[in-house]
């Protein structure tokens, strides 16, 4: 049983500092945690490693978050997207307290772009608010889809709604005009990274025409979480402990060769199914700060180039993205990029161009 603790937030900013580098998976410059703790309690989640008590035992309800956030929003640029990506904003506690709904209504009132990352079906009840935000700026909803197999989903995702219902929710949001994405996060080696699982998931996502797909790998921050994963994996099949020891070693992520191989396979499958790997430019074009838009475009190409083993151009575009985002890029640096014509169109005079012309 999960206990809800109603309380006010401790002193300090709700949003924290603006990111020093834009998050290209979530388009975000800020991250907002609505609830602390998560009733879904997905056993793979690295959140278990950071809480003094079990992740799903207590959920803290921040009663003063809307008021505190309202004050901070006055200093946030409307071209900076806020990601509701730290713990699930639509876990069951939202049905009682509606803190997420209050936050989204505030975003709608001021035209604040946002991205919601959830497994909760309660997001469907807030479609009118999301539509209002999207009309003024940008509202994106992402859902995690790890597998379509019911048994595996039950073992991996605790009390979260079944994947089939999440797919239906994404389709409903898409029909309502809300941009939607799917997250294959995390990919667990030897569990949901098989050809069969990945193909089935991607085909299902292509059928409902999600706007984009992102993926990332199981993160194991410390030994206690490593032991937790070692208890979880055998419940899913015959997986020797040595598998993870060999592929992780002392690292928090699987070794680079594994990640490169899986990313290549996923990128190929996405191309075959005409799925966008990462948010496409058209999704956020003209809806964020020009510097953010340019940085995201560059990071998208840097990701593709990195996966396809073009490290030099990938590194150049990644560094240029950060320089543009931080306002430190020179016209000479931008003109050295093959994407210079696109950067020129996005940034205009910010790129050192007079009246929008070269």
SS3 call for 339: coil
Q: Which two tokens stand for residue 13?
A: 């900013």
Domains of the chain: 3-284 (3.20.20.70), 290-351 (no CATH)
Distance CA 179, CA 208 (A): 12
Q: Which two tokens stand for residue 122?
A: 């309660």
Q: Which residues, 6+ apart, have CB-to-CB distance to 248 below 8 Å? A: 220, 226, 254, 255
Please give the distance of CA 160 from its chain centroid, rounded to a whole number.
17
- Taking 50 as the threshold, does the pLDDT of residue 354 lie above it? no
pLDDT digits 0-9 by tens, 271-324: 999 999 999 999 999 999 999 999 999 999 999 999 999 999 999 999 999 999
Q: Which residues, 6+ apart, have CB-to-CB distance to 302 below 8 Å? A: 313, 314, 315, 317, 318, 321
The answer to whether 67 and 120 have CB atoms below 8 angstroms apart is: no
Find, among 80, 105, 87, 78, the residue nearest to 42 by Cα.
Answer: 87
Q: What is the pTM of this model?
A: 0.94
The answer to whether 261 and 309 have CB atoms below 8 angstroms apart is: no
The answer to whether 139 and 20 have CB atoms below 8 angstroms apart is: no
Q: Which residues, 6+ apart, have CB-to-CB distance to 20 below 8 Å? A: 322, 326
Q: Which residues, 6+ apart, have CB-to-CB distance to 350 below 8 Å? A: 290, 291
Say which residue, 89 or 238, is predicted with more confidence. Answer: 89
Determine the pLDDT at residue 357.
33
pLDDT digits 0-9 by tens, 161-172: 999 999 999 999
Q: What's the whole-number mean pLDDT along residues 229-251? A: 81
Determine the pLDDT at residue 241.
66
């Amino acid at each position: 049983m999960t206990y809800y603790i109603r309380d006010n937030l401790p002193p300090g900013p709700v949003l924290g500092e603006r990111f020093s580098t834009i998050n290209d998976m979530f388009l975000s410059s800020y991250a907002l945690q609505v609830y602390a703790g998560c009733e879904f309690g997905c056993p793979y989640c690295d959140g278990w490693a950071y809480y003094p008590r079990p992740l799903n035992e207590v959920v803290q309800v921040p009663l003063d978050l809307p008021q505190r956030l309202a004050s901070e929003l006055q200093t946030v640029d409307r071209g900076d997207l806020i990601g509701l990506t730290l713990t699930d904003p639509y876990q069951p506690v939202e049905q009682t307290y509606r803190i997420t709904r209050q936050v989204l209504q505030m975003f709608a009132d001021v035209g604040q772009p946002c991205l919601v990352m959830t497994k909760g079906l309660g997001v469907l009840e807030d479609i009118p608010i999301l539509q209002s935000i999207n009309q003024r700026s940008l509202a994106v909803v992402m859902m995690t889809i790890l597998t379509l197999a019911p048994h595996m989903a039950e073992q991996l995702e605790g009390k979260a709604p079944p994947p089939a219902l999440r797919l239906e929710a994404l389709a409903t949001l898409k029909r309502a005009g809300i941009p939607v994405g799917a997250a294959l996060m995390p990919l667990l080696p030897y569990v949901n990274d098989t050809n069969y699982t990945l193909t089935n998931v991607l085909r299902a996502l292509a059928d409902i025409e999600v706007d984009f797909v992102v993926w990332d790998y199981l993160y194991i921050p410390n030994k206690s979480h490593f032991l937790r994963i070692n208890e979880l994996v055998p419940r899913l099949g015959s997986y020797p402990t040595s598998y993870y020891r060999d592929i992780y070693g002392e690292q928090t992520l699987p070794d680079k060769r594994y990640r490169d191989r899986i990313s290549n396979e996923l990128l190929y499958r996405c191309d075959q199914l005409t799925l966008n790997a990462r948010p496409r430019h058209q999704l956020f074009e003209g809806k964020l700060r020009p510097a953010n838009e340019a940085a995201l475009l560059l990071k998208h190409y840097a990701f593709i180039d990195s996966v396809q083993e073009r490290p030099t151009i990938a590194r150049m575009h990644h560094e240029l993205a950060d320089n543009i985002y931080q306002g430190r890029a020179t016209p000479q640096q931008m003109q050295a990029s093959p994407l210079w014509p696109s950067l020129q169109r996005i940034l205009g005079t910010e790129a050192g161009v007079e009246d929008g012309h070269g």
